[in-house]
Amino acid sequence: MARPVRTATAALAILWIAALHAGSGICAPARLSETGLYAEGRPGAIDPRNRLFSPQYPLWSDGAKKTRWVSLPAGSAIDTQSRGEWQMPVGTKFWKEFQFNGRKVETRFLWRATADRWIFATYVWNEEGTDAVLAPDAGVRGVVELAPGRSHDIPGVADCLACHGDRRPGPLGFNALQLSTDRDPNAIHGEPLAAGMTTVATLDRERLLSPAQPELVANPPRIKTADPQTRAVLGYFAGNCGYCHNRGGDIAYDGPSLKHSDLGDGDAVAAALLAKATAWQVPGQADGASYMLKGGRPEASAMLARMKSRRPSSQMPPLGTALRDEEAIAAIEAFIRSRR
Amino acid sequence: MTRTHKTTTVMVLAMAAFSGVLLRAMPPAGQDGAATPEKQKARVARGAHLVKSMGCNDCHTPWTMGPNGPHPDMTRALTGHPADLVMPPAPAPHGLWMGHVAATNTAWAGPWGVSFTANLTPDKETGLGNWTEEMFIATMRTGRHQGKGRPVLPPMPVQMLNALDDEALKSVFAYLQSLAPVKNRVPAPIEPADASANKEKN
């Protein structure tokens, strides 16, 4: 074989192999301090380029105090062509820090490393709280005792994928409703906006939405209901149930969509929930007598029954918690009792 | 640069560009779009073989007693635990006898509680009729119901089925979806704490 041909063949082979493996060799850094969360040379100090945000309807995680940041690559913008499915630019990173009893326990990391690949990782904090190391793929069981016989687990990669890794991988609590400036004062476990937190208004002002979404500033997203109780209940469902219970086809589900972008007419969604019989039979109820929510009858309301359960075969959400969310249970039960 | 080198460079760039186009055209793993009728037919045939040879009928088809001993009742193939067969409370596991199984082979009791084998026929209300291929594969990959829900319980060998590649799982799913739908609402699993009270139904 002539030398130029050999050279060409070798170069092609290298290019071919490189192309095949593009992105596949990227993995999560070994330590949280290597992910870009902290400022260079200032251990423990958040890099000011990382944006603090707080979804108005947070996912409840056994009462953990959670702090969240997002990093958008310089010069990039979020693709907002699909209102319900913001597409984050390549290079976007999310962090969520979990504290129990005032101690940092884990920080979860989502990174859109390439156009086709999100990386999901969890970092486990050391006792001193100085750094966190990458958790094993299987996760870590029993890192914090929450109650006798109940403990918090670090999720494994399969757990990450169960919620974040479907056909539309990415963050769950970073969308127009969650970042609305029209925050629900009655949101269950809601937190007030802190100074400097990212909202749809800041994203719009800094031209980080493409195409621009001025209506999100003029008319901030809101679950429209006749009463504040329904708004708060549906907001809780959006933050804790809607990522699976929607019409996106990720699971077989024929109830009303609880997705954040499908709750504009909240009263219609609430009415549909109250009218929807469910195949999942509440223990003790006759065949056909269980509903997603049954006005005036908490005992026939499957959603409430499954929120109350922390048994793996029936609890909802199915993963991520070991304890019942008593505040939410009380709020949803009060809502059910208020409906006839 | 000599003419030969220029030609080589152009060749390499052209081939690399072609490679890129080719790679872009390749679907991501697990996503090959709609299968052609021929491919789907082949999948159904392969799935039938896999289901038969991997022992799916061992648990998902109720067993009955015949002149030669117990055997799967193929008139109820892959319909799961019969809805009308209400099991008495399961004996508690003890010592080396950690599990118990119903005479039908469709209800299993052990430290995990009681599990009932699923209706794998494509009935929309009680079987896999509303499942997608993605949900089925996700279940086998994650060990969770539809890839997102409750854990799949023993004795279902999801950890072994996870060794199958996507094409094999697609074949199994294609075969199951080709069956006649049978309405049979299988009870929900019973946790250890309530294993003595068989009252929760799915």
What pLDDT is stored for residue B61 in this prediction?
98
Residues of chain A under the 70 pLDDT cut: 1-24, 166-167
Q: Which of B18, B134, B148 would you mutate first to test chain A, the one with the most A CBs within 10 A? A: B148
Cβ B189 vs Cβ B153: under 8 Å: yes
A133-137, A251-255, B16-20, B36-40: lowest mean pLDDT where? B16-20
Cβ contact A318–B148 (<8 Å): yes
HEC secondary structure over A60-113: CCCCCEEEEEEECCCCCCEECCCCCCCECCCCCEEEEEEEECCEEEEEEEEEEE
List A320's β-bridge partners, or say none.
none
Q: What are the C-alpha distances in Å from A237 to residues A126, A146, A270, B90?
A: 34, 24, 11, 36
- Average pLDDT of chain B? 84
Q: How far is A38 from chain B (nearest CA, A)?
A: 32
Q: What is the pLDDT of residues A177-211, one digit of tens each?
A: 999 999 999 999 999 999 999 999 999 999 999 99
Does the predicted interface ipTM exceed a cut of 0.90?
no
Tell me how far the alpha carbon of residue A296 is from its chain's centroid: 31
Distance separating alpha carbons of residues A340 and A296, to the nearest angstrom: 5
What H or E segment, with its residue span, contains residue B156?
A: none
Q: What is the model's pLDDT at position A340?
A: 80
Tokens 């080589």, residue located: B8
pLDDT tens digits for B102-136? 999 999 999 888 999 999 999 998 999 999 999 99
pLDDT for B29: 37
| Selected residue of A254, A313, A315, A319 to mutate for chain B interface (largest B Cβ count, 10 A) | A313
Q: Are A164 and A120 in contact (CB under 8 A)?
A: yes
Query: Could B7 and A252 be called an inter-chain contact, meaning their C-beta atoms sit closer than 8 Å?
Result: no
Q: Is the pLDDT of residue B26 over 50?
A: no
Give residue B8's pLDDT band: very low, low, confident or very high (50, 70, 90).
low
Cα-Cα-Cα-Cα torsion B27, B28, B31, B36, nearest 10 degrees, comes to 20
CB atoms within 10 A of CB A148: 6
Q: Which of residues 83-122 of B touch A (CB under 8 A)?
A: 113
CB-count exposure of residue B151 (10 Å: 0-12, 13-18, 19+): middle
Which conformational region is residue A39 in: left (phi greater than 0), alpha (psi within -120 to 50 degrees), or beta?
Answer: beta
How high is the pLDDT of residue A10?
A: 58
Chain A positions in Cβ-Cβ contact with residue B141 (cut-off 8 Å) = 158
Percent of chain B with pLDDT over 70: 79
Q: Which two tokens stand for residue B156?
A: 């279902």
pTM of the model: 0.82
Radius of gyration of the CA atoms of chain B, in A: 23
Closest chain A residue to the Cα of B21, Cα to Cα: A19
pLDDT at B71: 95
Tokens found for residue A97: 């820090």
Q: Is A163 on the interface with B (CB under 8 A)?
A: yes
